[in-house]
A and B are shown apart, each in its own frame.
Chain A
């Protein structure tokens, strides 16, 4: 095939070259090459996963401290002492930042996407393994810098994960807004760079490295979700990066992109003419696609799991693909719904609100299709399926509160109340975490060659499912009653007094739910060593990862590229010998 470089001359490839390049796919030797600076997408995927696991434990601990302080504001904790109001806000900020970036944007995409995208499309690795390795280490560095903010003078910032200036731009605005805020911004900037590199890899790999027979419309929905997520990331993280650079300049170079003339406690701060709303526009232009980045992989996985465990093709594969594409596209047109109360033009508020209601449509379609997949199936309930069903329930619950907030009229009483906190935790936080759990239980056998303990999995599921509802459903009631967000205690306003019992219930539920996660951590590490040995395809699933050895060899397929003949969801095909037909099974399933 012609295609050479400038001048139109063709280059002739020879096998000797090929041999020279094959070193990239010989298995590495030595601990550093194999486990630290590995180029193998599977190792990198695990590195991302364990980074996210560390981050989620930190994030959960911070939220537990928050819940304790809300109910017992005057209690000094062992080792940590008093939690002052500013400390509470630091917990809020770092909890949100760590969870959104280092858990929800890391585990589903960097973790499972890296591990399984190449395998599911039949490739030997990602397109650019060195870039892949760099993107992990940049992300890991970002996490270290983020944690470093706790230890500098003034501590970590208190401006919320949303970092609105002038609060985030003026060091005298509050404790933690000094070097801590600078480190926060630098960490996020590094994260953006890592995310952009990763997005580049995912997109190129999906477009260019699918094996023979693996057309785009035969890809598993997980691959579609990682692909679309990567496109969103490519277009969104650059904007966050820019926003961060402008904020760094305002803080350190005396510019006034975001900060007008301000006066703090009688002291004039030397800025002029900046617009705080500029940050909000840039941040939310990133921020809204970010929430879809957090949820799309879980949606793709949910589709996968309801199909596998109902032994039925996914209902409406094409609709699912178009729904994810529409969610991705519309996701860039709705950012203003975070800004209805900001002082933005009310006319643009109206436009954003229509687009926001529109994006509810493809989300609803996906829910109908998941229900449609369950309908008429033969459903099995191992842990991955429990979490997938839990995901659908949480997605519905979290999604239902969306149309309230999407209408500016109703946003007036609800904006910046606990209603919003309940909404995004259910639909973005918990649903996405359920996706991560489901993926762990599902792919654990393939990654580690052993099954996770099923009984522990069930305990984990039920405690977490009921527990998270007990935490976040009541927040909707509290928000309707007018409880504002980011309040470090409820002792100052009379009308909040009657909400304290509700908040106490939430805190107690948080104790139980967070403790239940220990079951998962124990199960994870114990099963790696002593879990029941797994066969190559314990779930009897059809996608390519289940055709390889367990765990997969270095080049995924033992030297032979698979050829794909079937779609990814051929379950219970009439006339077939088993109730599933692998994608690479040459006995074809004809069109219907």
Chain B
């Protein structure tokens, strides 16, 4: 039985490790400035924890086999522990875990401890059951007022977010169902939600942030590769959670300007 335990545990360990190493299913391609750092740290954690995983499981299987009871076996060692060993492995584990954490803290700090750069593309993201809407402030650089009484999702666009068209700042606000941003320029998001908690998740950008009713959360990321990227909701928000998706299009600066101008023109 000891041998069976060893074989099964080792098989499970090696098969799962194979799929991890082969990256058969892996993080989607990174397309933001932060992705490289996050992915690098991911790989570091992966490697170190992978070594621990394999070592622990292999030892478990090995000991189960090696120290199995059989007539020829030596009596079990009457040992209550080893003080030095306890201290050594405690310290090493602490160094590993805390070290990993401190290594990642600089990435967290750069993502979250500082506000967006001036000149970032501003987009207000509003989540509601079960769609995302995106609002651009337009040439005046100011978002117009919204009022809860004016919210009417069935009418789409400006009505969905309750835009107050009497506010002069709203005149040039553009509301869309697809998010378009220029490449290589920081994007500042202002995340809002109307009804329940949603979460704005762009896997390729390594971006995720909850959108909470009652809060306007500022967050930023910098797309560095042109392309189309799926956006999903990553916080249970009701029966339509699985189909609350959107699209992020990263385009060149000229294309973005053209697109925005066309949207402004439509408003006239």
Contact = CB atoms under 8 A, between A and B. Distances in A.
Q: Do chains A and B touch in the complex (CB under 8 A)?
A: yes
Given A376-B77, A485-B236, A347 B208 contact: no
B236 A167 contact: yes
B195 A263 contact: yes
Contact of A413 (B38, B93, B217, B245): B38
A574 to B, nearest CB: 6
B36 interface: no
B1 interface: yes
Interface stretch (B5-13, B172-180, B252-260): B5-13
Interface string B179-202: 000000000000000111101010
Nearest to B162: A263
B69 A473 contact: no
Given A263-B194, A376-B77, A379-B68, A343 B104 contact: no
Interface in B74-103: 74-82, 85-86, 89-90, 93-94, 97-98, 100-101
B53 interface: yes
A227 B125 CA distance: 49
B45 A318 contact: no
A72 interface: no
Interface residues of A, number: 117
A487 interface: yes
Nearest to B217: A343
A265 interface: yes
A375 B60 CA distance: 9
Interface in A384-436: 386, 389, 392-393, 396-397, 400-401, 403-404, 406-410, 412-413, 415-417
Contacts of A415: 208, 234
A294 to B, nearest CB: 21
B201 A396 contact: no
B56 A481 contact: no
Contacts of A408: 104, 108, 112
B215 A343 contact: yes
Contacts of B56: 367, 371, 396
B160 to A, nearest CB: 9
A357 B195 contact: no
B208 A386 contact: no
A465 B5 CA distance: 11
Contacts of B93: 360-361, 364-365
B233 A484 contact: yes
B12 A466 contact: yes
Contacts of B121: none
A459 interface: no
B107 A409 contact: yes
A590 to B, nearest CB: 12
Interface in A458-491: 462, 465-466, 469, 473, 477-478, 480-482, 484-490
Contacts of A148: none
Contacts of B60: 371, 374, 389, 392-393, 396
A579 B212 contact: no
A345 B90 CA distance: 31
A423 to B, nearest CB: 12
Contacts of A573: 78
Nearest to A162: B236
Interface stretch (A36-44, A243-251, A271-279): A271-279
A499 B79 contact: no
B116 to A, nearest CB: 14
B19 A365 contact: no
Interface string A335-348: 00000011100110
A213 interface: no
B233 A378 contact: no
A380 B69 contact: yes
Interface in B101-125: 101, 104-105, 107-109, 111-113
Interface stretch (A10-18, A199-207, A305-313): A305-313
Interface string B200-211: 010100111110
A262 interface: yes
15 contacts: A85-B240, A158-B238, A160-B236, A266-B152, A276-B197, A346-B109, A357-B97, A358-B94, A364-B90, A381-B2, A409-B105, A412-B206, A465-B8, A473-B12, A486-B236
Interface of B: 1-2, 5, 8-9, 12, 16, 19-20, 24-28, 37-38, 41-42, 45-46, 49-50, 52-53, 56-57, 59-60, 63-64, 67-69, 73-82, 85-86, 89-90, 93-94, 97-98, 100-101, 104-105, 107-109, 111-113, 128-129, 148-149, 151-154, 162, 194-197, 199, 201, 203, 206-210, 212-215, 217, 230, 232-243, 245
Interface of A: 84-86, 89, 158-160, 164, 166-167, 170, 173-175, 259-266, 268, 273-277, 310-319, 341-343, 346-347, 349-350, 353-354, 357-358, 360-361, 364-365, 367-369, 371-372, 374-381, 386, 389, 392-393, 396-397, 400-401, 403-404, 406-410, 412-413, 415-417, 462, 465-466, 469, 473, 477-478, 480-482, 484-490, 492-495, 498-499, 502, 569, 571-574, 579, 592
